[in-house]
Amino acid sequence: MARKADALIDKQTLTILEQLQTKTVGAPPTSSGLVGDQLPANIVSIQDYDLVKNQINLEVENLEALNALNTLGRITDLQGYGPIVDSGEITSVTLDASGSGGKVKCATPSKGEVFDIQGMDGTWNTSPGTSITFGFYIHNDKTDVEILLGTTSSSSTNPGFDVNDFLNAPFYVTYPFSLRATASSLGSAATCVINTYHVRVR
């Protein structure tokens, strides 16, 4: 356990904390309206954590600094220990156009978050009347570069999308990327609601 008294007399620990003293533990709540490029620049990042972590050797003289790093990693969620309790969420988006113009964001982690995609399905407003091919993409929201992960086809009114259809599970999405989907056509339907279940692992 890292204690303030120990940290104040340990040079390596002080160095770590001095480099991060202007940083906040996490982002403000989404209710603040500060999202994307509006987020404060002083939110601690994985790059900040890696920078200080990479300065410490694994030796007994650095035990207090290692304790401090462990505390920082846990409190900022920059150390992954599996699914985060109470972090499961189903997001729903409506696909109402076909092709690239109708592409929708199914899962979009915020800065500092990593999603583990567990499952997906769709619900058409009425039967499409034909087999529809769905495409799944991983998209870099900063550079606008994306790759096609895979496709799956279904004529069902309620198609189920196994994550293994486009990439072996577990399938992680991390900021600044988003998971996106598109449909080859809408058939005789007008809209398809795509649901995505994910849990946070960081």
Q: Average pLDDT of the chain?
A: 84
pLDDT tens digits for range 49-108? 777 877 788 788 888 888 888 888 777 766 666 787 678 899 999 999 999 889 999 999
pLDDT tens digits for range 23-59? 887 777 667 766 666 566 777 777 777 778 777 887 8
Closest CA to 149 of 169, 129, 121: 169
Which of 10-19, 32-41, 78-87, 112-121 comes out lowest in average pLDDT? 32-41
pTM: 0.68
**Residue 1: pLDDT above 50?**
no
Q: Which two tokens stand for residue 126?
A: 């009425």
Burial (CB count within 10 angstroms: exposed 0-12, middle 13-18, buried 19+), residue 72: buried
| Rounded average pLDDT over 151-179 | 87
Q: State the Cα–Cα distance between residues 14 and 3, nearest whole angstrom.
A: 12
